[in-house]
Amino acid sequence: MEQVLTPTHLPQTVEARNPGIPLDLDWALGVQANRSAIERRCATLPGRRSIKKHHQAAWLAKAVACIDLTTLSGDDTPMRVRRLCAKARQPVAASTLEQLGLPNLKTGAVCVYHDMIATAVDALDGTGIPVAAVSTGFPAGLSPLHLRIAEIEESVAAGAHEIDIVISRRHVLTGNWQALYDEMVQFRAACGDAHVKAILATGELGTLKNVARASLICMMAGADFIKTSTGKESVNATLPVTLTMIRAIRDFHDRTGFRVGYKPAGGISKAKDALMYLALMKEELGNRWLEPDLFRFGASSLLGDIERQLEHHVTGAYSAGYRHALG
């Protein structure tokens, strides 16, 4: 088969990290969100973006490179994490990757609880795949602040390259924007050189206006990424929430010059859904935000369906889902 795809792990432009800016409440509180217009814009996307054949395979390979392969269960074991890391190193069958011309395709990161950081770091040694850890009392974020900060510091010391923190939703719901900003500044400082992803838990923030304002406040406080959800809420990533957050990212970049990444998480399990998120990112933010340093999927089951679609692309036949287990 002709090699029609391009590698997705080429060296990336080194971006200056978002250092944060002073809290600008006039800017944040001036943000509005027209829910009906946002939902109407998102509803038109599937009809306008039909991606087929070689183009679909290329986009799905891009999605694989942007997945944070995740296990966040109470019954996680070192063996399960090692299997997940093996899947991150080779997310798609070697024969399929060879036919696609992408022998070095890897996932964007592996995301685990603190106790599994050392195992993941060891299993991924030499691969260049970063280890992300959830922190700050994930998923509720209701433990004492000094313990949440200490948890970040412990995870960084254990070798985590990225820290996914959860904000205090009550600060958003009560309009205490100064408290949210101050908290995020402390989380960013505790991360040091590790990049910080701020999880907004958008399903618990009430309105899209709150989502937009919380997004801006976290970026003002120095977040490297903003992320929709913990994956544990009743409502996780949606296209309207995504459009709201990435327009906040665009606004922040236009005003400050700093690029902040975006991570939808929870509820994205089908390859066709991944294509819609990628298309929205391209339309709203451009190609630069389609690279793993600025875009991630918080998902695991998504990879199985993408692998199945890629195998169909090269063989012409669909395989059974159980042939594409995560580990």
Q: Active site includes 52? A: no
Residue 305 counted as domain residue: yes
Residues 6+ positions from 57 with CB-CB distance below 8 Å: 4, 5, 100, 309, 310, 313
Residue 8 counted as domain residue: no
Q: Active site includes 263? A: yes
318 in helix, strand or coil?
A: coil
Q: Active site includes 182? A: no
CATH number, position 124: 3.20.20.70
Instruction: Give CA–CA dist 135/150, Å, rounded.
Output: 10
Residue 284: which domain range?
A: 25-45+52-321
Instruction: Give CA–CA dist 67/89, Å, rounded.
Output: 12
Q: Specify the amino acid at residue 225.
A: F
Rounded CA Rg of the chain:
19
Any idea which of 5-9, 43-47, 64-68, 130-134 has the lowest mean pLDDT? 5-9
Instruction: Give CA–CA dist 317/46, Å, rounded.
Output: 24
Residue 2 counted as domain residue: no
List, for residues 192-233, the tens digit of each pLDDT value.
999 999 999 999 999 999 999 999 999 999 999 999 999 999
Any idea which of 1-15, 35-49, 290-304 has the lowest mean pLDDT? 1-15
Residue 98 counted as domain residue: yes
Residue 152 counted as domain residue: yes
More confident residue, 194 or 267: 194
- Does the structure show a pLDDT above 50 at 94? yes
- Does the structure show a pLDDT above 70 at 324? no
Residue 4 counted as domain residue: no
Number of domains the chain is built from: 1
DSSP assigned state of 323: G
Going by pLDDT thresholds of 50, 70 and 90, the confidence category of residue 183 is: very high
- Alpha helices (runs of H) in the chain, residue ranges in sequence order: 25-29, 35-43, 45-48, 53-65, 78-89, 94-100, 117-123, 145-157, 169-173, 177-191, 208-220, 239-256, 271-285, 301-315
pLDDT for position 120: 98
Instruction: Give CA–CA dist 189/127, Å, rounded.
Output: 27
- Does the structure show a pLDDT above 80 at 176? yes
Residue among 227, 273, 293, 305 flagged as catalytic? 227
pLDDT for position 50: 72
Tell me the CA distances in angstroms from 70 to 80, 122, 179, 187, 326, one per residue in order. 11, 16, 30, 22, 10
* 295: β partners: 262
Residue 14 counted as domain residue: no
CA dihedral 68, 228, 250, 287 (to 10 degrees): 30
List, for residues 242-266, the tens digit of each pLDDT value.
999 999 999 999 999 999 999 999 9
Tell me the CA distances in angstroms from 271 to 67, 212, 268, 278, 280, one per residue in order. 12, 27, 8, 11, 15
Residues 6+ positions from 285 with CB-CB distance below 8 Å: 246, 249, 250, 262
Other Cβ atoms closer than 10 A to 162:
24
Residue among 68, 164, 273, 305 flagged as catalytic? 164
Residue 131 counted as domain residue: yes
- Does the structure show a pLDDT above 90 at 51? no
Residue among 263, 273, 293, 305 flagged as catalytic? 263
Tokens 């402390």, located at residue: 186
